[in-house]
């Protein structure tokens, strides 16, 4: 389901060439009015459908891709093939193209128009054409004229009498009265718009309680149709690190607790399927089961007391991973999946297994969550815009049109829709928010000290469930020669994203020991630390700090916005560069310039930001990691290192992949792992800029850890432990 890059249509401007009207086989087409007529009658085309027709006419006989058509007709919209398919289907209907020979589909390539075309051009000196008369003349005169050459039409010149312009004078006495009347009207409008007249809805959350509290990982919950219980995923934690998953049901009063289904692959998301008309009133669940790189959609049939009756695999998709909760309407399921690094929106027919692409990301909008909406013919899509702000949009499944709903901030969000609730329930990972039908955002207040994932509303809209995640872990260093381990942080919360200074004497890292993410610097020799970035706004996403060569500055991103901290003074000096979007990847040696990576679709953008001047310079658009040194540029992917010209400098072994890399002043440290993800053993290599060769320097055994940094002597890593449980709340609208 990949698409080639867009290329412009070179046959000229469709609107200019055919705007006066043209014949297409036995039809007369008038773009200005949208009318298409034969001797049997007149039909009208929607403006966008007419534009699609004009583009096909302009490239008659040539194949034009769906992406090209979309970019020309919907130039400021996010690509959706539904719009193009619908327009072509409308054209086939209007032009009686039942056998699809006029508007021909070329699978995985696009569409082409095959028809007899002739422009309808007015005679020189003729007045603007009368459509009705032109249609009647062109069709009634001689239909072979449509085939043999251009058809000319003429309109009689109309006559009219022009009256001399008249000056109207309004009586002055009435001017003051009108002014007073207008002021009074504006005052009434202002009174109507005051907050007192339109009270902001408030919500009360009460009776917070954990629904689960086991050593297993319980996550992602959905209420039962009667709102009396919650179904959730439980993943076992054992020594074999298996991916076994189970679906469990627990009633809100905890009186009922039962296993519904067990799978030997990972279950992330599931949804209830609507009852089939004329079928027994059984309960049905649709789940996405992930094993290796294949996702399988499985339908479960349950009795009214939630006993499993049947389990049927409906379809499977290789090289695919479902990345968001999904939902179904009738026999169609809508899901967001990642394929080859792209998160795209699909729809699948549960009866036939046919899968169609609905929405593909681009640099303007990249979707990361979906939800239902008030209209069954629209999908709610949540994604990032060019400024890395979360935006809520509505996608029509019938027309492909996309409309904006709400622009939020730079945080990630979870989203759910409930009609009884009256809108959307949102979470940024720490708090809960309600978004009503008037796009008014309200925070729901309650005490929460952990991460809040996947909020869900009951069908009654009176209960709320979510996954609470608690993470803790510390940072350690491993001596690469003697394999000696040293614990560097001792938090009861979570310390992560560590990086060594250039002289290996300091450690910068992120910690939520004070309740939210902050940046600390630890002096390794004295074991003393200081808070260098307090993150007073409590932004949720802080990236790994990058050190300057003189060890006096740090660069990192908060919610994809660049932050630089000067450590020279006793009190660190913080600078925010909100115009720089992305994460710093490398501080160029002995300069004030930083390499910044902005993740985008279809390619990430790599820029150089000069701190002193505040200017950015674009380097390249590529999904390969970029490393710069003394004017030279190196590119890395999972298998090799290349120079800027694409020449290979280093290749990982057949069984290995480059899992991580760390750019230093004299070269790049590589962490190579086997393709089998269950293997804990890894090797450390060093690629030298000077001779552009790599050598193996150590073998390490590090199961279940995050690797943060590597230097010549040490490897920096972090441990982590996650506890996940389901919590429920009562929800009341005041």
Per-residue confidence (pLDDT) for residue 341, from 0 to 100: 79
Confidence grade of residue 279 (pLDDT, cut at 50, 70, 90): low
pLDDT in tens, 393-419: 999 998 889 999 999 998 999 999 999
Map out the domains of the chain as residue ranges: 14-153, 203-469+724-733, 474-718
Least confident of 145-149, 288-292, 544-548, 716-720: 145-149
Confidence grade of residue 291 (pLDDT, cut at 50, 70, 90): confident
Return the CATH number of 14-153, one of 1.10.10.10, 3.30.420.480, 1.10.150.120, 3.40.50.280: 1.10.10.10
Q: What is the dihedral of CA 14, 15, 21, 26, to 10 degrees?
A: 30
Q: Mean pLDDT of all residues in the chain?
A: 84
Superfamily of domain covering 203-469+724-733: TolB, C-terminal domain (2.120.10.30)
Q: What predicted TM-score, i.e. pTM, was given to this entire model?
A: 0.75
- Identify the architecture of domain 474-718 in CATH: 7 Propeller (2.130)
Find the angle CA(322)-CA(327)-CA(333) to the nearest 5 degrees.
Answer: 80
Question: DSSP secondary structure string, 447-504?
Answer: ---SEEEEEEE-TTSSEEEEEEEEEEB-EEEEETTT--EEE----SSBEEEEEE-TTS
Q: In terms of Cα–Cα distance, which of 105, 248, 93 is closest to 726?
A: 248
pLDDT at residue 357 above 50? yes
The DSSP secondary-structure symbol of 429 reads S
Query: Where do the DSSP E strands lie in 319-428?
Result: 321-322, 327-329, 332-339, 342-349, 355-359, 365-371, 378-385, 390-396, 402-407, 414-418, 423-427
Phi, psi of 469 (to 5 degrees): -115, 125
Q: How far apart are CA 465 and CA 463, in angstroms?
A: 7
Per-residue confidence (pLDDT) for residue 201, from 0 to 100: 58
| Residues, the chain | 734
Confidence grade of residue 12 (pLDDT, cut at 50, 70, 90): very low
pLDDT at residue 145 above 50? no
507, HSE (Cβ side, Cα atoms, 13 Å): 32
Q: Residue 571's Cα: distance from chain center in Å?
A: 39
Q: How far apart are CA 302 and CA 18, in angstroms?
A: 60
Least confident of 38-42, 87-91, 241-245, 719-723: 241-245
- pLDDT > 70: what percent of the chain? 84
- pLDDT > 90: what percent of the chain? 61
Per-residue confidence (pLDDT) for residue 159, from 0 to 100: 33
pLDDT at residue 204 above 50? yes
Whether a cis peptide bond, with omega within 30° of 0, leads into 306 is no
Q: In terms of Cα–Cα distance, which of 486, 612, 488, 592 is closest to 546?
A: 592
Q: What is the dihedral of CA 327, 329, 330, 331, to 10 degrees?
A: -50
Mean pLDDT of 217-227: 95
């Amino acid at each position: 389901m990949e698409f080639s890059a867009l290329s412009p249509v070179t046959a000229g401007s469709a609107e200019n060439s055919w705007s006066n009207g043209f014949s297409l086989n036995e039809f007369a087409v008038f773009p200005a009015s949208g009318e298409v007529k034969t001797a049997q009658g007149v039909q009208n085309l929607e403006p966008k459908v007419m534009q699609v027709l004009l583009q096909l006419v302009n490239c008659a006989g040539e194949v034009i891709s769906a992406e090209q058509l979309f970019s020309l007709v919907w130039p400021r919209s996010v690509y959706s093939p539904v719009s193009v398919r619908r327009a072509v289907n409308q054209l086939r209907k209007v032009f009686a193209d039942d056998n699809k020979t006029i508007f021909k589909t070329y699978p995985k390539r696009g569409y082409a128009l095959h028809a007899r075309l002739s422009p309808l051009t007015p005679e020189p000196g003729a007045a603007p054409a009368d459509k009705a008369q032109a249609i009647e003349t062109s069709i009634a005169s001689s239909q072979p004229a449509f085939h043999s050459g251009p058809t000319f039409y003429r309109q009689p010149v109309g006559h009219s009498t022009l009256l001399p312009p008249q000056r109207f004078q309004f009586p002055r006495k009435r001017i003051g009265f009108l002014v007073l009347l207008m002021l009074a009207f504006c005052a009434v409008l202002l009174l109507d718009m005051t907050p007192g007249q339109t009270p902001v809805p408030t919500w009360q959350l009460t009776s917070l309680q954990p629904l689960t509290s086991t050593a297993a990982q319980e996550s992602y919950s959905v209420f039962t149709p009667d709102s009396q219980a919650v179904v959730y995923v439980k993943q076992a934690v054992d020594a074999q690190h298996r991916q076994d998953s189970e679906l469990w049901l627990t009633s809100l009063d905890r009186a009922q607790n039962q296993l519904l289904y067990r799978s030997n692959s990972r279950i992330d998301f599931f949804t209830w399927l609507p009852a089939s008309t004329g079928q027994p009133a059984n309960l049905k669940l649709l789940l996405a089961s992930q094993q290796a790189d294949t996702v399988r959609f499985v339908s479960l049939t349950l009795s009214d007391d939630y006993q499993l009756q049947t389990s049927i695999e409906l379809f499977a998709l290789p090289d695919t991973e479902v990345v968001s909760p999904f939902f179904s309407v009738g026999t169609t399921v809508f899901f967001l999946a990642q394929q080859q690094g792209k998160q795209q929106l699909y729809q699948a027919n549960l009866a036939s297994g046919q899968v169609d692409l609905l929405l593909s990301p681009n640099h303007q909008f990249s979707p990361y969550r979906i939800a239902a909406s008030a209209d069954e013919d629209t999908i709610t899509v949540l994604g990032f815009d060019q400024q890395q702000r979360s935006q809520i949009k509505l996608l029509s499944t019938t027309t492909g049109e996309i409309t904006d709903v709400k622009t939020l901030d730079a945080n990630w969000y979870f989203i759910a829709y409930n009609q009884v609730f009256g809108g959307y329930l949102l979470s940024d990972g720490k708090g809960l928010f309600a978004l009503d039908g008037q796009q008014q955002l309200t925070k729901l207040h309650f005490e929460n000290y952990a991460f809040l994932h996947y909020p869900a509303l009951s069908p009654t809209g009176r209960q709320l469930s979510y996954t609470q995640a608690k993470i803790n872990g510390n940072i350690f260093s491993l001596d690469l020669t003697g394999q000696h381990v040293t614990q560097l942080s001792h938090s009861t919360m979570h310390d992560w994203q560590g990086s060594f200074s250039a002289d290996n004497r300091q450690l910068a890292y992120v910690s939520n020991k004070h309740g939210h993410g902050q940046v600390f610097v630890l002096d390794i020799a004295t074991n003393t630390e200081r808070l260098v970035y307090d993150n007073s706004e409590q932004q949720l996403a802080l990236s790994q700090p990058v050190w300057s060569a003189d060890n006096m500055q740090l660069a990192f991103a908060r919610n994809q916005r660049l932050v630089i901290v000067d450590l020279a003074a006793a009190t660190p000096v913080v600078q925010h560069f909100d115009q720089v979007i992305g994460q710093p990847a490398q501080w160029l040696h002995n300069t004030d310039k930083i390499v910044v990576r902005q993740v985008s679709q279809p390619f990430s953008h790599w820029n150089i930001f000069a701190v002193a001047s505040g200017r950015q310079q674009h380097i390249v658009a590529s999904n390969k990691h970029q490393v710069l040194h003394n004017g030279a540029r190196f590119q890395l992917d999972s298998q090799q290192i290349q120079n800027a010209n694409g020449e290979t400098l280093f290749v990982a072994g057949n069984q290995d992949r480059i899992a991580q890399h760390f750019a230093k002043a004299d070269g790049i440290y590589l962490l190579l792992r086997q393709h089998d993800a269950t293997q804990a053993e890894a090797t450390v290599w060093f690629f030298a800029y000077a001779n552009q060769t790599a050598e193996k320097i150590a073998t390490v055994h590090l199961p279940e850890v995050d690797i943060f940094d590597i230097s010549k002597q040490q490897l920096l890593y972090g441990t982590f432990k996650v506890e996940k449980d389901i919590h429920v709340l009562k929800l009341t609208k005041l």
